[in-house]
Amino acid sequence: MLPLIGKRLLATIPTLFGVLVVAFLLLNVVPGDPVAEMVGERADAATIARLRAELHLDEPLPAQFGHYLWGVVRGDFGRSYITQRPVLGDLADRFPKTLQLAGAAMLLAATCGIALGVLAAIRPGGAVDRLSMFIAYVGISFPVYWVGLLLILLFAVALRWLPPSGYGGLAFLVLPALTLGTRSIAFLARMTRGAMLEILPSDFVRTARAKGLSETRVIGRHALRNALLPIITVLGLDVGNYLTGSILTETIFSWPGVGRYVLLAIERRDLPAVQGSILFMSVIFVLVNLLTDVLYAKADPRVAYD
Amino acid sequence: MLRHLLRTVNLFDTAKRALFLCFLAACSGRSGGDQTQSLLYYETYDPRSLDPALSTDVPTGEMVTLLFDGLTQFDPDGRILPALSDRWTADARGQRYVFHLRPRVNFHDGRPLIAADVKRAFLRVLNPQTRSGRVWPLLPIVGAADFADGRARDVRGIEVLGDTAVAFTLTEPLAVFPKFLAMPVAAIVPAAPSADFAQRPVGTGPWRFVEWQHDDYLRFAANSTYWGGAPRSESLTVRIVPEPLTRAAEFLAGRLSVAEIPFGETVKWEREHPDWLHRKPALRAIYVALNNRRGPLRDPKVRRALNHAVDVPAMLRTVWSGRGVAAAGSIPPALGGSDAGRKPYAYDTAQARRLLREAGVAQGFSVQLWRSGTNVELGRVAQAIQAQLAAVGVQVEIVSRDASSMREAVRKGDTDMAVLDWWADYPDADNFLYPLFHSASFGPGGNYSFYSDPGTDSLILAARRTVDQAAREALYRRIDNRVFDAAPWIYLWFPVDLWAAQPSLDGWDVPVIFNGQRWTKAHVAADR
């Protein structure tokens, strides 16, 4: 397993380089001018030209990219044009908060989603199945911002049980985690149900029952374990998405995470901040994918990597 | 089967219990206690910095205004008041100003303020290495432009007169210069600011810096030795709350002292909480910039026709929830120089058609109307205009782009028409004429309609040089009238801001200009 991980990590270097090149080119192709965002609504041409020179934006693109790459290699993601703070520091400041929200949402999704899916599969067409189907429909079809605002109205304004938004203790985490997790709960429940329904009629499940194993053991150890592969795939994708910031949820709940940072950076054409964030997110994605692959092998010994 | 059903029930019980515990924890975890007496304000996004030199946007400017003082300042109604300078004199032409410093003013770290600090602070803003994007308020000073370009080592026009006064010599007379000095970028910072000054600022302002959690909140404490008297409240917390509907919820939950009412909610709040609402005409104009250099829009008759073709009162009522006053000119009614007697262009499609016929485009034409995708309300305005212009044969294609792309296109003059708003930097009619209609302000300077008229140019400059206030305002009326006739815009309206304030909040008023509210008189009454 270890050589595999090492090899995969090495293979990420060209991937990340590719991401950097594409991000850099895209940012230079899209309309919008970082200097215009630095000077605000009213400025004179001389100031604009001076800032452009200060930021080396008047140099040819390959030279600009070279500067940037050289910085990244030395672990320097540069400073934001807008705030003049180091990009890496800003990301390090926000990532733990995103991690917290993603962790809570995933915990919620994994426990509720898988449990609902398993329960639904035990009695297809039964009450639990119909309930899980309902939750799935609601979760998948309602837009995140709508669910978020409704939750705020109910729990924060009408009932006053929880704060509407902001970052702080557990109380602040409940609503955004619920909002973010709902989609995953819905998707995971349907996924688990489908996989379980395929597995349950299998010979080995019948054998397990015939051996006299308890139903819990049959479902939990034999059936569920075999249904895990698609579940891990979905979880892996969601974790990747959540860890790179959930712009809508973070905006509605004033959560100081990575998603809002990136959004603001893009809006203001803050090139170092956008590039740094993209690189950071790519690293996260690559790592989560690697973890997912390792988990595949753990869950199913038949999966072997060369 | 029974066993697993039982287990199922158990599982639900466990889940239920866990959820209940969550709520319990949540309720006890609410940190409402320390917030009841504190002032709670908000910004829509994290300020750029707390360094005055970088204050190019509203959140940064507002935070700088809490921490620092300029030589002058504005009150909530936009009147200019003394600040670090308690009196100033100008020569007869308005070209040389002497600002006398208020005695015994200290920075938050105890250092006394001296006149040399003023010069150092301004040089710091002009220094290219500071990368300040907003140097224009200081550029009228003799030698400032050369210094900013690295062609001079000093700014000749700033003279330090002992410890207690500073004199400014300007390249030409400028009556509004004292107002420029109230802008956040001209705030006075201490000598040799520390490396983390932008994160841990030290000023002379009514509030001292306590803490800044990025994208979350900023915390300030009252400066008990403030020269203008200590603020009435002990602390001020400024939260970062990006979503308007969340802000309304935060206000209702008592976690914000004030909140701007979201547009869609206007009627609801007016009906349910009329006594919480505060209204104030804003120094702000909503307009459509017509590119005076493109196609049929070059002809003033066509531009006047477009003004007659849109039903501004109806639009104001429907898409803007009635929160504004129809514009007859570009100078907001609250400013000297606006002409209350001038009537807006009347909604008259027959007149519009006649003008189009006279201009030789009776068959109509096609234009693009740009809007920023980030501003929902202005987007609705664009749709309304599209529908109304279609009625007189003008085909409008709406181009929706993000704010940055749109700004670039507008500044380059690549758009036919663009829905825009203009916020005052300083409360003076000059701020609604020089940037918007002088030909030296083309593009980035603010003249997005590329309106060019030598007569207007010279009148605007003449007004800037006029020291006598009444004569200056008369000139502004004349200029506004002249421009209004040429119709470089579709004149829409001047917004009226609508805010809610907690009934327990006292001494707060909606400011007409972003840096007009310093929260010194605001106070939360104990349990009402």
Q: Which of B3, B48, B399 to mutate to test the interface with A (most CBs of A within 10 A)?
A: B48
The answer to whether A241 faces chain B, any CB pair under 8 Å, is no
Q: Do A33 and B404 touch (CB under 8 A)?
A: yes
Q: Please answer whether residues B473 and B337 qualify as being in contact, where contact means their C-beta atoms are separated by less than 8 angstroms.
A: yes
Q: Give backbone dihedrals phi and psi of A194, rounded to 5 degrees, phi first.
A: -60, -50
Residues of A in contact with B52 (CB under 8 A): none
Burial of residue B160 (number of CB atoms within 10 Å: 0-12, 13-18, 19+): middle
Q: Which of A40, A47, A163 sits opposite B255 (nearest CB)?
A: A163
Q: What is the pLDDT of residue A305?
A: 64
Strand partners, B101: B85
Q: How confident is the model at residue B316 (pLDDT cuts 50, 70, 90)?
A: very high
Which of A15-24, A220-229, B160-169, B209-218 comes out lowest in average pLDDT? A220-229
Q: What does the pLDDT read at residue B36?
A: 47
A166 CB near a chain B CB, below 8 Å? yes
CB contact under 8 A, A267 and B374: yes
On the CB side of B456, CA atoms within 13 Å amount to 26
Percentage of chain B lying above the pLDDT 90 cut? 88
Distance CA B269, CA B251 (A): 12
The pLDDT value recorded for residue B29 is 40
B505 DSSP β-pair partners: B524
Q: What is the pTM of this model?
A: 0.90
Dump pLDDT digits (tens) for B412-421: 999 999 999 9
Q: Which range has the worst mean pLDDT, A28-42, B177-191, B320-334, B440-454?
A: A28-42
Query: Mean per-residue pLDDT for B71-90?
Result: 96
In the prediction, which pLDDT does B374 show? 84
Q: Which residues of chain B are within 8 Å of residue A122 when distances are taken between CB atoms? A: 4
Take residue A38 and report the two structure tokens written for it: 């630095």
* The predicted structure's pLDDT at residue A306: 54
- State how far the alpha carbon of B464 is from the alpha carbons of B172, B175, B190, B429, B472, in Å: 9, 6, 32, 10, 8
| pLDDT for B34 beyond 60 | no
- Among partner residues A82, A161, A252, which is closest to B23 by beta-carbon distance? A161
| CB nearest A164 (choices: B54, B148, B246) | B246
pLDDT tens, position by position, B117-140: 999 999 999 998 898 889 999 999
Q: Which residues pair with B213 in a beta bridge?
A: B217
Rounded CA gap, A275 and A296, in Å? 32
Lowest mean pLDDT among A116-120, A256-260, B1-5, B111-115: B1-5
- pLDDT of amino acid B33: 38
Q: Which two tokens stand for residue B435?
A: 């940037």
Do B262 and B248 contact (CB within 8 A), yes or no? yes
Q: Do A164 and B27 touch (CB under 8 A)?
A: no
Cβ distance of B243 and A251 shorter than 8 Å: yes
For chains A and B, CB pairs below 8 A equal: 190
pLDDT at residue B354 is higher than 70: yes
What whole-number percentage of chain A has pLDDT above 90?
A: 35
**The pLDDT of residue B11 is above 50:** no
Minimum Cα–Cα distance from A263: chain B residue? B45
Q: Please report residues of B whose CB lies closer than 8 A to that of A256.
A: 213-216, 240
Question: Pick from B48, B134, B252: which is nearest to A157 by CB?
Answer: B252
B208 reaches A (C-beta below 8 A): no
Whether pLDDT at A51 is above 50: yes
The residue behind tokens 């001494």 is: B507
Distance from CA of B445 to the nearest CA of A (A): 5
The closest CB to that of A31, out of B57, B241, B409, belongs to: B409
Label residue A223 by pLDDT band (50, 70, 90): confident
Question: Helix, strand, coil % (nearest 5) of chain A?
Answer: 75, 0, 25
Q: Which of B185, B215, B407, B448 to mutate to test the interface with A (most CBs of A within 10 A)?
A: B215
The pLDDT tens digits for B200-252 are 999 999 999 999 999 999 999 999 999 999 999 999 999 999 999 999 999 99
pLDDT at B67 over 70: yes
Per the model's pLDDT, the better-predicted residue between B38 and B519 turns out to be B519
* Residue A110 distance to chain B (closest CA, Å): 13
- What is the Cβ-side half-sphere exposure of residue B385, based on CA atoms within 13 angstroms? 30
- Please state the rounded mean pLDDT for residues A277-301: 86
Answer for the pair A80, A87: CB distance below 8 angstroms, yes or no: yes
Mean pLDDT of chain B: 91
Query: Nearest Cβ partner of A42 from B25, B240, B445?
Result: B445
Convert the pLDDT of each residue in B472-484 to its tens digit: 999 999 999 999 9
d(CA B247, CA A148): 13
Name the more confident of B221 and A132.
Answer: B221
pLDDT attached to residue B7: 43
3-state secondary structure of B384: helix
The dihedral sign for the CA sequence B271, B272, B276, B281: negative
pLDDT digits (tens, 9 = 90+) for A151-160: 999 999 999 9
Mutation target vs A (from B243, B283, B439; most A CBs, 10 A cutoff):
B243
> Which residue among B148, B214, B441 sits closest to A50, beta carbon to beta carbon?
B148
On whether any CB of chain B is under 8 Å from the CB of A252, the answer is yes
CB B27 within 8 A of CB B147: no
Confidence (pLDDT) at A73:
87
Please count the residues of chain B: 528
Q: Do B131 and A51 touch (CB under 8 A)?
A: yes
